[in-house]
């Protein structure tokens, strides 16, 4: 998985590209630390360019959500398509995290 991040005022935007799996654990930890240090109050996680996600990747989305939430901030996951959208639907992630089309 590749990712990019940018900050626009109080909003941090993270975009994922490719396949999201267990091997991306270190990158996710780094992203979480970057967000916490940024001063942002909202995190937008763009999923529209993410092609595939496995169960470990789903778990890391929860890690991102929980890390942001524990700081009293909000996370929104945006634009999942294809296999990623199906995995989020099957696992009923919309009951746990905020997902926008």
Q: What is the pLDDT of residue 68?
A: 93
Q: What's the pLDDT at 77?
A: 98
Residue 27, pLDDT score: 93
pTM given for the model: 0.91
> How far lies 26's CA from each of 9, 20, 86, 87, 94, in Å?
26, 12, 25, 22, 25
CATH number at residue 60: 3.30.750.24
What are 16's two structure tokens?
């994922």
Cα–Cα distance between 46 and 14 in angstroms, integer? 6
Domain count along the chain: 1
Convert the pLDDT of each residue in 4-26 to its tens digit: 999 999 999 999 999 999 999 99
Confidence at residue 51, expressed as pLDDT on a 0 to 100 scale? 97
Domain that holds residue 6: 2-100
Residues of the chain with pLDDT under 50: none
**Whole-number pLDDT of residue 49:** 96
pLDDT at 71: 87
């Amino acid at each position: 998985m590749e990712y990019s991040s940018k900050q626009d005022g109080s909003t941090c935007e993270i975009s994922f590209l490719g396949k999201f799996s267990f091997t991306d654990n270190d990158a996710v930890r780094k992203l979480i630390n970057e967000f916490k240090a940024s001063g942002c109050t909202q995190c937008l996680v763009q999923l529209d360019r993410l092609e595939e996600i496995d169960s470990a990747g789903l778990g890391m989305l929860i890690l991102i959500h929980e890390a942001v939430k524990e700081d009293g901030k909000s996370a929104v996951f945006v634009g999942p398509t294809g296999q990623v959208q199906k995995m989020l639907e099957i696992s009923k992630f919309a009951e746990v995290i905020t997902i926008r089309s």
